[in-house]
């Protein structure tokens, strides 16, 4: 079982709706989805387009975990989205790119945005936003995008049907994380990850680093072995492998 789903024809942003509710004291858990987003957004304030036929959904939930640990929910979301891709495209077509992108043949098909804030009871609210290009891939983006439909011999699932798979798999991975900690999540993520052991460029807000991506640290940071042998932990930023 997964939390209930509230479906709307249109919202400015499912994450924005989750935030509004959280700031009035709601804690979920509830999935909020919209057929169309008029002001969707992704990481670092980038626009995220949602046309009819694509999936835009946000899980509003609360957690007792401290903020650094709570951020690991993005890896849970990435695994759930990869499971959805497997169900539609077959195994091993989708790959994960740190921290939480899902790619099909090197092109982005899923975006994940996690936002959080403090509640009056001292816990955190989390808004776990997931956008999936089921039927359409945006063209006016800085990096190549893909849609499931381009790689399917049959029509892609309807958004609410896709959300049923996504929410079910999210709950399974969330339960694993809650029961066993981050280690099994990190292992599962690493098995699907692209770029581990390969040259990597990390573009941070104030500098760019180059090295080899060694994998996840125990908290989800990316371990980057620099050319001079030093180890750098990347906790935020954009990473690129072979131009991807």
pLDDT tens digit sequence for 101-159: 999 998 999 999 999 999 999 999 999 999 999 999 987 666 789 999 999 999 999 99
Please give the average per-residue pLDDT across 33-59, as a whole number: 76
pTM metric for this prediction: 0.92
CATH superfamily of the 5-192 domain: Bira Bifunctional Protein; Domain 2 (3.30.930.10)
With beta carbons less than 8 A apart as the criterion, state whether 220 and 99 touch. yes
In the chain, where the domains are located? 5-192, 199-240
- Edge-to-edge strand list for the sheet holding 30-37: 5-11, 30-37, 55-63, 124-132, 107-118, 101-104, 94-97
Angle subtended by helix axes 159-180 and 183-192, to nearest 10: 130
Angle subtended by helix axes 183-192 and 73-89, to nearest 10: 40
With beta carbons less than 8 A apart as the criterion, state whether 173 and 76 touch. yes
Type and span of the H or E element at 173? helix 159-180
Nearest to 160 by CA among 54, 242, 231: 54
Lowest mean pLDDT among 43-52, 58-67, 219-228: 43-52
How confident is the model over 158-185, as pLDDT tens digits?
999 999 999 999 999 999 999 999 999 9
- What would you report as the CA-atom Rg of the chain, rounded to the nearest whole angstrom? 17
CATH class (in words) of the domain with range 199-240: mainly beta
Please give the average per-residue pLDDT across 31-36, as a whole number: 96
pLDDT at 15 over 70: yes
């Amino acid at each position: 079982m997964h939390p209930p789903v509230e479906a709307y024809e249109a919202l400015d942003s499912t994450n924005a709706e989750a935030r509004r509710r959280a700031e009035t004291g709601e804690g979920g858990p509830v999935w909020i989805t919209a057929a169309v987003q008029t002001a969707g957004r992704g990481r670092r304030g980038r626009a995220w387009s949602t046309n009819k036929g694509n999936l835009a959904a946000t899980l509003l939930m609360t957690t007792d975990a401290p903020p650094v640990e709570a951020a690991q929910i993005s890896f849970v979301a990435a695994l759930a989205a990869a499971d959805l891709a497997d169900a539609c495209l077959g195994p091993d077509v989708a790959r994960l790119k740190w921290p939480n992108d899902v790619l099909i043949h090197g092109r982005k098909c899923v975006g994940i945005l996690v936002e959080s804030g403090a509640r009056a009871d001292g816990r955190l609210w989390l808004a776990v936003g997931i956008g999936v290009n089921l039927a359409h891939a945006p063209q006016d983006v800085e990096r190549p995008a893909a849609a499931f439909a381009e790689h399917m011999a049959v029509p892609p699932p309807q958004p609410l049907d896709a959300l049923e798979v996504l929410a079910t798999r999210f709950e399974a991975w969330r339960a694993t994380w809650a029961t066993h900690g981050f280690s099994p999540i990190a292992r599962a993520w690493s098995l699907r990850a692209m770029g581990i052991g390969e040259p990597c460029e990390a573009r941070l807000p104030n500098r760019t680093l180059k090295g080899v991506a060694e994998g996840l640290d125990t908290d989800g940071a990316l371990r980057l072995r620099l050319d001079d042998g030093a180890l750098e932990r990347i906790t935020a930023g954009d990473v690129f492998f072979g131009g991807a």
